[in-house]
Amino acid sequence: MFSVDQKVVYPGHGVAVIERIVEKSIGGCPTRFFELKFLSKDMTILVPVDNAPSVGLRELSSSDVVQRVLAMLSKSGEGVQSEAALANWNKRNKDYQGKIRKGDLKEICEIYRDLKQIENFKELSFGEKNLLAQTEALLVEEIAQASNISDDRAIEILRTHVAPISRARAGMSREIQK
């Protein structure tokens, strides 16, 4: 499944390296753990080897997957087109948090895209801004690691892919208001 020195993604926290496999006694039973050291934060966690799939630990995305995800940014989101969708932050936030906990790169990209589109209709709330920053950080970290580029370059690529939508949506939003 996973091996020492492999880069993996832990949902909601980002990319980590498996430093080592540790064995500890839990309730008298020997249990093996992956020791994960995160690249972007000073944090190390232990994940039981047997529970790795259930907590969402996954391999780093391939560059092909990253390219497909970036291509998604140029498509409009379906969930944010109506005023009702814009108004119901609590429901959207609950859905978004569930997607982040799953750790799927495509779903995190959808959240980022949706929030960037909503940003063109109204000013984002404090919670929306935090969620946008969180999803951007998760995307940038994985894009940078999967593509072997710097975080700054990954931010530039990410924002370039979303920018054409933002300008188009902003223009449409201004037209609607006239």
- DSSP E strand boundaries for 39-149: 44-48, 58-59
Same domain, residue pair 55 and 69: no
Same domain, residue pair 46 and 134: no
> Is 1 within the bounds of a domain?
no
In order of 66, 104, 117, 154, the CA distances from 164 in angstroms are 18, 24, 11, 17
- Residue 151 domain boundaries: 63-177
Tell whether the model's pLDDT for residue 1 goes beyond 50. yes
User: CATH code at 41?
Assistant: 2.40.10.170
Same domain, residue pair 162 and 77: yes
Same domain, residue pair 102 and 129: yes
Contact assessment for residue 153 and residue 161, using Cβ atoms and an 8 Å cutoff? no
Backbone angles phi, psi at 62, to 5 degrees: -80, 165
Same domain, residue pair 45 and 88: no
Residue from 24, 52, 19 nearest 35 by CA = 19
Q: Give the pLDDT score at 177.
A: 37
Q: Give the pLDDT score at 173.
A: 39
Same domain, residue pair 25 and 70: no
Q: What is the pTM of this model?
A: 0.83
Q: E strand or H helix at 102, and its extent?
A: helix 89-102
> Is 102 within the bounds of a domain?
yes
Same domain, residue pair 26 and 112: no
User: CATH code at 102?
Assistant: 1.20.58.1290
In order of 15, 72, 92, the CA distances from 118 in angstroms are 27, 16, 12
Q: CA 45, 17, 95 angle in degrees (round to 5)?
A: 65
> Is 114 within the bounds of a domain?
yes
- DSSP E strand boundaries for 27-128: 29-38, 44-48, 58-59
Same domain, residue pair 112 and 55: no
Question: For 145-177, how does the pLDDT look when each residue is reduced to its tens digit (9 = 90+)?
Answer: 999 999 999 999 999 888 555 444 444 434 333
As a whole number, the mean pLDDT across the chain is 86
Same domain, residue pair 49 and 67: no
Same domain, residue pair 104 and 44: no
List strands edge to edge, sheet with 58-59.
Answer: 44-48, 29-38, 14-26, 7-10, 58-59
- pLDDT bin (cut points 50, 70, 90) of residue 78 is low
What's the domain count of the chain? Answer: 2
Please give the span between the terminal C-alpha atoms of the chain, in angstroms, as a whole number.
57
Query: Which two three-digit tokens encode residue 94?
Result: 């609950």
Pairing relationship of beta strands 44-48 and 58-59 according to DSSP bridges:
unpaired
Same domain, residue pair 48 and 73: no
